[in-house]
Amino acid sequence: MKILGIETSCDETAAAIVEDGAKILSNVVVSQIDIFKEYGGVIPEVAARSHLEAMMPVVNKALSDASCTWEDIDAVAVTHAPGLLGSLLIGTLTARTLAVLHNKPLYAVHHLKSHVYANWLENNTLPVFPLLALVISGGHTQILYMPGHNKFEIIGTTHDDAIGECFDKVAKVLGLPYPGGPSIAKAALNGDETKYKFPHPKVPNLDFSFSGLKTAVLRTIQKELGLPISHPSYDLKNHLSNKQICDFAASFQKTAVEILTEKIEMAVDKYPETKSIVVAGGVSANEKLRDALPKAYFPASSLSGDNGAMVAAAAYYEIQSGVKPTDPYSLNIYPRVSIEN
């Protein structure tokens, strides 16, 4: 079964064709990073306009890269929740139109579900149920309990910022380019991770909080520079040496990785029947985190971020679980809905 997966929930315009939820026949991702580097973050209206321009060329390239025509495609899948409203609209309207035009069943997929299913792509050994999924992206930080395919229970979530958002905000203070995750990881390679100590948040159970860590980094920078806490955060980068930037990046990354690994270890203690740990979402590209969780499943780094292949994989397992196609004439978008709904 060949599924065309379409993803436009944030700032990547992506389409891919995947066979039987595993084999990637094509995977086209057009990133808007170069546009948003200038602004230091995503501007939703600009993202939506860029999706509109890139969408059909991306879909057509996905078809030609896979040497497929519409005859070969069995279903269309698209991210309909959660994400930026305008961005989700472009992807879903495209998928709805294509499904009607080519008479294909349409499946609407939750973005976090598709991140999790990136772990089933091109993987020789597959995760085993029941499993725990740590979903870490720019918008989410959750631990999910999965007793089987397509079944999700949220057992931990963030009370404030997402971990990727925290990487992005700390990077901004340090004057490192957007997106912050990869630039912090790069700067950290030349830094001393033991140089600065940041407290771990005291959040009960399996929940997270990252706004305190972001503030701790800010205060430590101000203290290090002998500046008052009233000193604006956007100006601090102008006072930091290269060495200090790298040390802060490394120390912050070390703390972030420790917090994530501590919580996933707590989750395994609480759910001793767990057979696999799966890590997913943009932050799962982080090498230090990969080193810290050697037994966990991670997607190929190229599949950690947003892409269409994971949407197609998630749809395949929805179909296997008996989910029926959605009506292409009425499919709605849900910018904020939870994976449990």
Contacts with ligand KG4 by CB under 6 A lie at 10, 137-139, 164, 167-168, 179-182, 185, 281-283, 285-286, 305-306
Q: What is the SS3 assignment for 19?
A: strand
- Choose the stretch contacting Zn ion; rule: CB under 5 A; options: 150-158, 182-190, 202-210, 301-309: 301-309
Q: Residue 182: name its binding partner from ligand KG4, Zn ion, none (Cβ under 5 to 8 Å by kind).
A: ligand KG4
DSSP H helix total and E strand total for the chain: 10, 9
**In the complex, least distance from residue 22 CB atom to ligand KG4, rounded to whole angstroms:** 21
Residue 6 or 174: the one with the smaller Cβ distance to Zn ion is 6
Q: Residue 274: name its binding partner from Zn ion, ligand KG4, none (Cβ under 5 to 8 Å by kind).
A: none
If you ran DSSP here, which 8-state letter would residue 95 be given? H
If you ran DSSP here, which 8-state letter would residue 84 be given? -
* Cα 309 from Cα 300, distance rounded (Å): 12
Residue 5 or 305: the one with the smaller Cβ distance to ligand KG4 is 305
Residue 104 or 254: the one with the smaller Cβ distance to ligand KG4 is 254
**In the complex, least distance from residue 80 CB atom to Zn ion, rounded to whole angstroms:** 14
Q: Interface residues for Zn ion in 83-142 (CB under 5 A)?
A: 137
The Cβ-side half-sphere exposure at 77, using a 13 Å CA radius, reads 31
DSSP bridge pairs for 158: 208
Residue 79 or 276: the one with the smaller Cβ distance to ligand KG4 is 79
Residue 185 or 315: the one with the smaller Cβ distance to ligand KG4 is 185
Q: Residue 286: name its binding partner from Zn ion, ligand KG4, none (Cβ under 5 to 8 Å by kind).
A: ligand KG4
Q: Residue 167: name its binding partner from ligand KG4, Zn ion, none (Cβ under 5 to 8 Å by kind).
A: ligand KG4
* Cα 183 from Cα 173, distance rounded (Å): 12
* Cα 17 from Cα 80, distance rounded (Å): 18
Of the candidates 155, 116, 189, 179, the residue with the CA atom closest to the CA atom of residue 266: 155
Strands 23-31 and 75-81, bridge-based pairing: unpaired
* Cα 161 from Cα 165, distance rounded (Å): 6
Among 3, 306, 310, 313, indicate the residue that binds Zn ion (CB under 5 A): 306
DSSP bridge pairs for 145: 132, 153
**In the complex, least distance from residue 228 CB atom to Zn ion, rounded to whole angstroms:** 38
Residue 8 or 137: the one with the smaller Cβ distance to ligand KG4 is 137
* Cα 208 from Cα 202, distance rounded (Å): 9
User: For binding to Zn ion (CB under 5 A), which residues are involved?
Assistant: 137, 306
